[in-house]
Amino acid sequence: MSRVEQAIAAAHDAGRSAFVGYLPVGFPDLQTSIDAAIALAQNGVDIIELGPPYSDPVMDGAVIQEATTLALAAGFKTADLFTALRAITAATDVPVLVMTYWNPVLQYGVDRYADDLLAAGGAGLITPDITPEVAGDWIAASERTGLDRVFLAAPTSSDERLELVVKSSTGFVYTVSTMGITGERTELDRAARTLVERLRAHGAVRACVGIGISTAEQIAGVSEYADGAIVGTALVRALRDGGIPALAEVTRSLASGTSSARSIPSN
């Protein structure tokens, strides 16, 4: 198993679902974003999702867009991502996935990006705007390097698309709870549960649910049927409003929701 798969398995062995926490690298500055990611690991996150800022973040809600815009304005460069990764992975064994839009990878060079990601201690990529059909170069690079490739599945995905996503993904399948941009919602769509069931039917071993999750109660609900929950906006808001102390407190609170009375499907 990959490090990401091992982290999910370890959470399951402890009787809970996995907690995946997202933060943008470079916000509010590079060093603070490094310290913040380490704080996630120290306060209950099983997998860190690190997002390089991007000029056209079509999937990101207002809070994350604001943070990434500030990071870009402060001069963030792709090289800063690898600097951050080296520092984070030197300080914690929690695996770090990079959630990146595809154009920066393409501009950097797919093989070069994969090699530098591996050298910096990264565990793989979450790629929200590229589908397996056109990701041949990345699939080849990930197989060569052993990096995980996490593709997205949406409630509107056809059975044929889900079959391809399950076949092409490693680590886990990023299960979109509802259509739209990231952010916080007072009630998660029932579509998430149905989508996970469909993914299981197509052979998915690990499915983590993201988009709209912002409370421990929502994480507990997701834990009844999925392998993990992904939280972004609530963590970014905590960092923005209260710095690392507030981030640590919110992380601990969210982590309390990972235990579920219902047993998680064994891997």
pLDDT digits (tens, 9 = 90+) for 186-229: 455 678 899 999 999 999 999 999 988 899 999 999 999 999 99
Choose between 267 and 169: higher pLDDT: 169
Choose between 265 and 8: higher pLDDT: 8
Q: Could you tell me the residue ranges of all domains in the chain?
A: 3-258
Active site residue 224: no
Enumerate the H helices of 158-215 as residue ranges: 159-168, 191-201
Strand residue runs (E) in the chain: 18-24, 47-51, 96-99, 124-126, 148-150, 152-153, 173-176, 207-210, 228-231
DSSP, res 23: E
Q: Which of 5, 60, 80, 148 is catalytic?
A: 60
Query: Of all residues in the chain, what percent carry a pLDDT higher than 70?
Result: 91
Query: Averaged over 43-60, what is the pLDDT?
Result: 85
Q: What's residue 1's pLDDT?
A: 93
Question: Which amino acid type is present at position 259?
Answer: S
Q: Which of 5, 46, 49, 227 is catalytic?
A: 49
Active site residue 60: yes
**Which of 180, 215, 210 has its CA nearest to residue 195?**
210
Query: Averaged over 234-260, what is the pLDDT?
Result: 95
Question: Which amino acid type is present at position 168?
Answer: S
Q: What is the pTM of this model?
A: 0.92
Q: Which letter, b or e, does each residue of 38-63 get, where b requires 16 or more Cβ atoms within 10 Å of its Cβ?
A: bbbbebbbbbbbbbbbbeebebbbeb
| Helix orientation angle between 110-119 and 136-145, rounded to the nearest 10 degrees | 30
Superfamily in which the 3-258 domain is placed by CATH: Aldolase class I (3.20.20.70)
